[in-house]
Structure 1
Amino acid sequence: MAAKNTKSTKKKGEDGDPLAEYRRKRDAGKTPEPVPADEDALPRGENDTFVIQEHHARSLHWDLRLERDGVLVSWAVPKGIPPSPKVNHLAVHTEDHPLEYATFEGDIPRGEYGAGTMTIWDRGRYETEKWSEREVMIVLHGSRVSGKYVLFRTRGKNWMIHRMDPPADPDAEPLPERLRPMRAAEGRRLPRDQSAHGFEFAWGGRRLLAYISGGRTRFTDGRAGEVGGPAGLGSKLGEALGARPALLDGELAQVEGRETYLIFDLLHLDGHPLLDLPYEERRGRLDELELSGPRWQTTPWFPGDGDAVRQAARDQGLPGMLAKRLDSPYTPGEENDAWRYIPVK
C-alpha cells in the first residue's frame, strides 16, 4: 500500500471545532440527527470507517462519509457512486458530520436543513492511499461498493469521484440511448391457446419509455423521440428506483381523473438488457420492483384468463385489451403478432 498522506481536507471553525458548521445548521430540539454537545464528545476511531447514505431530500442524492480525525468528512453525490471507470460523478464537498452519523437512519423534519428520509445504503471499512486538500484516494470494502476510488477537487466545493478499478460488474451495459417500443398487431378474437398468453388492459394512453439512472428519469415516445414527462413524475419515479438503473415501458393515461404512468414491461435492469427474456419472466421481475406511487403504477396482468379480462375491460369502459405470448421476447420497433391488441367495444 502507498504511504498515507495525513494532511486532512477538513477545516476547523474559528473556535477550533470541526463540527461548528454542522451544529449551526441543525436544531437538536427538532431533528433526530445526532448533534454532539461539544468536540470532547466525539469518539475516536481508526480513520477506516465509511458510510454511504441514500438521502431523499429536495432532490435524491447519496452522501459518502469517511471517518477522518474524529469526524466524518462528507460529499453529496447526486448520481451515486460510479460502478465503472468509464464515467465520473459529481461529488459536492459538504460540512463534516459527527461519527455518530455513521449509524443514522431516519426522517429529518420538514423545514430543517436536509429535510427528508435518510437510509444507510452501504457501509464498511476503507483504506487511505492519499489524502490532501485536493485529492483523496481510498479503497472501499463494503457490501455494495468495493474497490479503489479517487475524489479530486475541480472548483470550490465541487469534486469528482472516479473508480480506478475495473467495473464492479464487467458484463454490465449502459442503458440504450433510445429504443423504439414493440407494437402489438390488431385482432378481433382472443387466441385459441389462452393458457399460453398473459392478458392486460389497454388504457388508451400515450406510449412512453422511461430511462432511469442515478435516480433521474428521461422519457422517449413511440417513435423514440425525446419528450418531457409530466411535471414531477420523472424525479419521483427515479427516486422510487434509487441507484438501480432501469428501462421501463408503459403508457401515460387518465386513471380516476389523474394522469398516471402505467408500467407494463421491464427492458433493462441493473446493467443487463432483458429483451431476450420471455414476457412472463420480464413481468415477474417488474412485479418484484413493486413500483407503485401517486403518479405511477405497475399494471396488472392475468395469465390464461382472456375472457375475464375482456369483460372487465368492457365494464371499466376501456378501449381494449392485450394478449401477449408468455414466451415472447421483446422486439424493439416491430409489430409482432406475439402481442395482439383486441378492441372490446
Structure 2
Amino acid sequence: MTPKKPKRTPAKRKGDRLAEYRGKRDASRTPEPVPDEKALPHGDDDTFVVQEHHARSLHWDLRFERDGVLVSWAVPKGLPWSPETNHLAVHTEDHPLEYATFEGDIPRGEYGGGEVVIWDRGTYETEKWSEREVKVVIHGSRVSGRYVLFRTRGKNWMIHRMDPPADPGAEPLPERLRPMRPVRRARLPRDREAWGFEFAFGGRRLLAYVEGGRTRFTDGRGRAVDGPGRLGSRLGAALGARPALLDGELAVLEGRETYMVFDVPHLDGRPLLDVPYGERRETLDGLELSGPLWRTAPWYPGDGDPVREAARAQDLPGVVAKRLDSPYRPGEESDAWRLIPVGSR
C-alpha cells in the first residue's frame, strides 16, 4: 500500500504583504475586509487612521498607508498629547487599504474580537521611514502634529510627540485628590430652589482616575486602593480616550456592587473644581455613564422632600443636599453639601 503524501500548504506568493493578515481571519466569519490574493491597490501613501478597538483589552490601532497596505501599530494608551510622555506601540501585521474605512463588530472568538470604531482619520506626510524609526506629520480632526515611532525591542515600539502639547492649556489628572465631604444636618435647607438633591447610598467613597482606557482608584482619604472586580477596565473602556476624574460611592444595589457616580472634578484636561455643582452635574449627565458595574447617580434640583421620601421608601440612609452654585473643594467638609438622614423632619 502506497502511503499517502502529506498535504502541502500552498506557498505564499512572494511579496504578499497581507499573507499574515489573511492567515488570521476567516472571511466567512468576520465583517473585516479580507481581499483576495491579488495585486495590491495603491493610493498616495498619505492616508492615516486611528481605530478605537474594544477587544479583550481596549487599545487604539494606528495605521499608515504605505506601499499598498496599512502599516499598523496597536497603542494601548492612545497617542500621547504631550512630548513629556511616550506611549508603547506594538507593531502588528499589515492591513489592507480597505481597513481605513472599517467599523463594526468582530465576532467573539475571532482574532481581535470586539467593536471597532474610527477615532480619527486624515492625511500624513513622511519625514523618515526605516525599519527602526518612522517620523510623520499627522493631519487629523482630533490629533495633529509631528510624531516619531522608534523600535525598542522585537515588535515593541514607542511613540513620541515631537511638537508642543496639542492643547497647551490641558492639565493632567491629579495624582490623587481627597474628596469634598458633606456636613451632617437635621433638616433640609429652606431655600430649596438653590439646591440639588441626591440619594445617600451609604456605600464606600471611591474616586476613579480614568485615562487611556485604564482606571485607578483612591478612597475617601485619598489613599490608593484596588477597584472591585473588572470595574476599572470596563469603566475605562466606556470613557475611551477621554481622561476623567470621577467621584462616587460603591454601593450595593439590587444585590450587586455598583459604582454610583455623582461628580466629575476633572474632564478632558480641564479641572472643574471651580465650576458650579449644577454645571458639573450637567456635564456628568452628558457622559451618559451607564454600565453593568457603574451608573450615574440621579439628582434633583429644587424640592428635596420627594427625594427624602423616596430614600426612606428604599431604605436608604438619607439624602445629600448640594448648593447649585457650590465649587468642589477637595478635602473640605463644607456646609455647601449637607447630609440629611431620612428620619429627619
Confirm or deny a common fold (TM above 0.5).
yes
Equivalent-residue separation in structure 2 for 1:142 and 1:67 (angstroms): 14
Quick one: which of 171, 174, 186 aligns to 1:173? 171
TM-score with structure 1 setting the length:
0.95
Question: C-alpha deviations, 1:259-303, integer Å up to 9, x for none?
Answer: 000000001001010001100010010000000001000011000
1:126 equivalent in alignment to 2:120: no
Question: Deviations 1:202-229 (Å, cap 9, x if unpaired)?
Answer: 0000000000000000000001111011
In the TM superposition, residue 39 of structure 1 has moved relative to its aligned partner by: 3.2
Aligned match of 2:146 in 142, 148, 164?
Answer: 148
Aligned to 1:3: none
1:15 Cα deviation after fit: 3.1
Q: In 2, distance between residues paired with 1:301 and 1:61?
A: 33
CA–CA separation in structure 2 for the residues paired with 1:201 and 1:316: 10
Q: Note if contact 1:19-1:39 (Cα within 8 Å) is conserved in structure 2.
A: no
Alpha-carbon distance, 1:16 to partner:
1.9
Residue identity matched to 2:29: K
Q: Which residue of 2 aligns with 1:229?
A: 227
Q: Deviations over 1:42-84 (max 9, x none)?
A: 3210100000000000000000000000000000000001111
Match of 2:293 in 1: 295
1:192 alignment counterpart: 190
Q: Where does residue 9 of structure 1 map in the other structure?
A: none
Q: 1:235-273, CA deviations, whole angstroms, 9 ceiling, x for partnerless residues?
A: 000000000000000000001000000000001001010
1:18 aligns to what? 17
TM-fit CA distance, 1:199? 0.3
Counterpart mapping for 1:1-345 below 5 A: 15-40=14-39, 42-345=40-343
Aligned-partner Cα distance in 1 for 2:160–2:329: 35
Rounded Cα–Cα distance in structure 2 between residues aligned with 1:55 and 1:315: 43
CA distance, structure 1, for counterparts of residue 66 and residue 280 of structure 2: 45
State the distance in 2 between where 1:55 and 1:175 align.
23
Q: Partners in 1 of 2:249 and 2:336 — Cα distance?
A: 19
**Residues 158-184 of structure 1 deviation map (CA, whole Å, 9 limit, x = unaligned):** 000000011010011100001000000
Partner of 1:10: none
State whether residues 107 and 116 of structure 1, in contact with CA within 8 Å, keep that contact through their aligned partners in structure 2: yes
Determine the C-alpha separation between the residues in 2 that align with 1:39 and 1:274. Answer: 54
Structure 2 counterpart of 1:214, which letter? G
Distance (whole Å) between structure 1 residues aligned to residue 147 and residue 257 of structure 2:
42
Identity of aligned residues (%): 77
Deviation of the 1:305 alpha carbon = 1.6
* One-letter amino acid matched to 1:96: D
* Structure 1: distance between partners of 2:68 and 2:38: 9
Q: Deviations over 1:74-106 (max 9, x none)?
A: 000000011110100000000000000000000
* Structure 1 consecutive aligned stretches of length 4 or more whose deviation exceeds 6 Å: none
SS at the partner of 1:39? coil
**C-alpha distance in structure 1 between counterparts of 2:77 and 2:38, whole Å:** 32
1:56–1:117 contact (8 Å) kept in structure 2: yes
Give the drift of 1:231: 1.1
1:37 and 1:176 map into 2 onto residues whose CA distance is 50
Separation in 2, partners of 1:318, 1:15: 69
Q: Matched residues in 2 for 1:127 and 1:207: separation?
A: 48
Partner of 2:7: none
Alpha-carbon distance, 1:14 to partner: 6.8
- Count of residue pairs the alignment pairs up: 332
SS of equivalent to 2:306 = helix
Secondary structure at the residue paired with 2:174?
coil
Unpaired runs of 5+ residues, structure 2, are 1-11
